[in-house]
Structure 1
Amino acid sequence: MKKLLLLATTIILLSAQTTQEFIEKNAIRVQNELPAKIYKIIKPYRVIILGELHGTNEGPELIYKLSQLIHSKKEKVAVGLEMSETFQKTIDTFFQTNNFEQLKQSIPFNYPTKFQDGRSSTAIALLIKKAALKEIPIICYDPEDWNNRDIGMAKNITKVFQAKKLDKIILLAGNAHALLEKSTQQKSKPMANALFSSKFSIFSQKDILSIHMRSYNTKAWVMLTEIPKIHHFSPIGTVYSKYIPWDMYFLHEPHNSKKYNATFFWRNITASPPLNWKK
């Protein structure tokens, strides 16, 4: 797990960049609500993935806003979380009872702190709560068997998409899983790639929008040490942070077909500790 998180952190901080000219011409400023322009861009896609660094507030909040935007357009949408498929029953029960205290005391939110890797954060719990109020389904797609894990993820997502007859599914995933093409550091194809390149695929690459979560200043609850904690990553100056003064923007990058074909940039990303964390 630590090696995977280190790979994800490296990818998010050092991945290839788009040119200054392209960013200045095409970036869409975001303040509170998502602009209508963003829906026009995402409308053709059936699978939207946000490649994140686990343990932040901004990733889950964006997933909720995207799902709400699509839901408001009368499209049938679900949200997929990188949580074990064994947790699905708990999610389904919460949608029926709306008992947040019961959810709080369930696996994985009640795991001891040393096992909390950011995927069961307060922000994730609030995403589930808000999605339930809007009746936007939550899907736990991480397979119980981690042999060929990313292939298992892609299979679970594909099955749910077909079974629920969805128009779109929005996935929150570690950024290593969101790569459209396998990196030299990966032994097998990442989930995003497997969704369109496997024998069971119902999607083409043109159906997949993989958004890279980028920032200048980042704090996140991640498992990079023996005991997970809030890590502060030193500010990284890139073309994404240098040439646009905005605190937040969206950028469609269809020319980047090998890694991520979009960016969502935040000037500052903040940490979201586990739901039951006590200092």
Structure 2
Amino acid sequence: MATVTLRHLLVATALLGGCKTAQPAVQTPDTGTTNTAQADCGPAIPGMEALLKPAAFIVLGEMHGTQEAPAFTTRLACHAAAAGQPVRVGLELPVEEQPRIDAFLASEDGALQPLTAGGFWTQKNQDGRSSKAMLQALVRLRELKRAGLPVDVRAFDAGGGDRDATMAAKLLQERALAPRDTFIVLTGNLHARRDKGAPWDPNLRFMSNHLLEAEPGLVTLDMAYLGGSMWACIGRSEDACKVQPLKKARYEEHAATPRIVVQKGATDEGYDGVYGVGTATASPPAVHAATALPTP
């Protein structure tokens, strides 16, 4: 069976757009010399300067299964790392995937099949987290790392009866290992809510609410979009997981172009602000279950 490599994915420029090149100075640990790392981060995102402070902890809430949210995450991470900030990108992937992620990031050839060999990528109900866009995000983050930028990736879905609590605990464990890094975390938008309670349970604590105890400077952003589509599982029937319409815009006044709007009390749903992605586009599963190979 032929090895599947990066050629089978969209090129990185299709993910990010633009042509601005960042050239940060990177210290070489073994020699102490300074090299110039090059990475195309795309145009600056309006509003990012106020957000990307050293040791920032940023949670991006998403609708799973879109092209735009993972691409926005990698673009933001690129700009932070290009400014010289060590960045840890947290992805809502099972912690069991971490060894495969580490091996992929360190690989010379960027082969995708070993990365996607776990059952997460081929399970029956794929809820959007195992999308092409998520796989492309991992490819992009590997490119940034190999370009010399200080970027790492951490899976934080630890499962359990209270996923919000266990995911927060995993992230705080990672934070303890790297207290000076900038954390950029992509998760479902409910997990990103900082306020306690929900209409169906006033005592419910989402992931970000758990994080606030140790990270009072946490900034949570919800995804703003102009409608569109997503890949999601709605219901339990055999065809529940499919392209679903996003019929209504969300935070329409901030959604038209990539931008970040941070303002305490900016939303009524427990976020510090929003990030715009334009019209959302569904991203289907990255791997064909029948062949266990990444889709072209």
TM-score normalised by the shorter chain: which range applies? 0.7 to 0.9
Name the CA distance, whole Å, in 2 between partners of 1:66 and 1:175: 18
Task: Give the match for residue 137 of structure 2.
Answer: 127
Name the CA distance, whole Å, in 2 between partners of 1:217 and 1:246: 10
Task: Give the match for residue 23 of structure 2.
Answer: none
Task: Give the match for residue 44 of structure 2.
Answer: 34
Query: Could you give the per-residue CA deviations for residues 55-92 of structure 1, whole angstroms, max 9, x where no partner exists?
Result: 00000001101111110111111100111111111111
- 1:65 aligned onto 2:80: no
Query: Could you give the per-residue CA deviations for residues 192-217 of structure 1, whole angstroms, max 9, x where no partner exists?
Result: 010023xxx2x21xx11111002121
Which residue identity is paired with 1:195?
A: L
- 1:103 aligned onto 2:115: yes
Q: Looking at secondary structure, tell me which structure has more helix per residue.
A: 1
Q: Is the 8 A contact 1:94 1:103 kept in 2?
A: yes
Name the CA distance, whole Å, in 2 between partners of 1:167 and 1:122: 27
- 1:137 aligned onto 2:152: yes
State the Cα distance separating 1:46 from its structure 2 match: 1.9
Q: Structure 2 residue aligned with 1:156, among 128, 146, 170?
A: 170
SS at match of 2:142: helix
Please report the TM-score for the alignment, with normalisation by the length of structure 1. 0.77
Name the CA distance, whole Å, in 1 between partners of 2:255 and 2:61: 23
Q: Structure 1 residue aligned with 2:279, among 262, 265, 268?
A: 268
In structure 2, do the counterparts of structure 1 residues 158 and 244 end up closer, same or farther at CA, with 3 Å as the change threshold? closer
Q: Is the 8 A contact 1:77 1:166 kept in 2?
A: no
SS at match of 1:156: helix
Q: Is the 8 A contact 2:256 2:279 kept in 1?
A: no
State the Cα distance separating 1:43 from its structure 2 match: 1.9
Query: Could you give the per-residue CA deviations for residues 12-47 of structure 1, whole angstroms, max 9, x where no partner exists?
Result: xxxxxxxxxxxxxxxxxxxx5233642233326621
Structure 2 unaligned residues grouped into runs of 5+: 1-41, 146-150, 289-294
SS at match of 2:84: coil
- 1:172 aligned onto 2:186: yes
Task: Give the match for residue 3 of structure 2.
Answer: none
Task: Give the match for residue 12 of structure 2.
Answer: none
- 1:231 aligned onto 2:244: yes
Q: Is the 8 A contact 2:54 2:180 kept in 1?
A: no
Q: Is the 8 A contact 1:87 1:107 kept in 2?
A: no
State the Cα distance separating 1:234 from its structure 2 match: 1.4
Q: Is the 8 A contact 1:64 1:131 kept in 2?
A: yes
Please report the TM-score for the alignment, with normalisation by the length of structure 2. 0.73
Name the CA distance, whole Å, in 2 between partners of 1:163 and 1:41: 22
State the Cα distance separating 1:168 from its structure 2 match: 1.3
Structure 1 unaligned residues grouped into runs of 5+: 1-31
Q: Structure 1 residue aligned with 2:212, among 189, 192, 196?
A: 196
Name the CA distance, whole Å, in 1 between partners of 2:255 and 2:65: 25
SS at match of 1:159: helix
Task: Give the match for residue 224 of structure 2.
Answer: 214
Which residue identity is paired with 2:205?
A: K
> Which structure: larger Rg?
2
In structure 2, do the counterparts of structure 1 residues 122 and 274 end up closer, same or farther at CA, with 3 Å as the change threshold? same
Query: Could you give the per-residue CA deviations for residues 229-253 of structure 1, whole angstroms, max 9, x where no partner exists?
Result: 00012133x6x32x56944432112
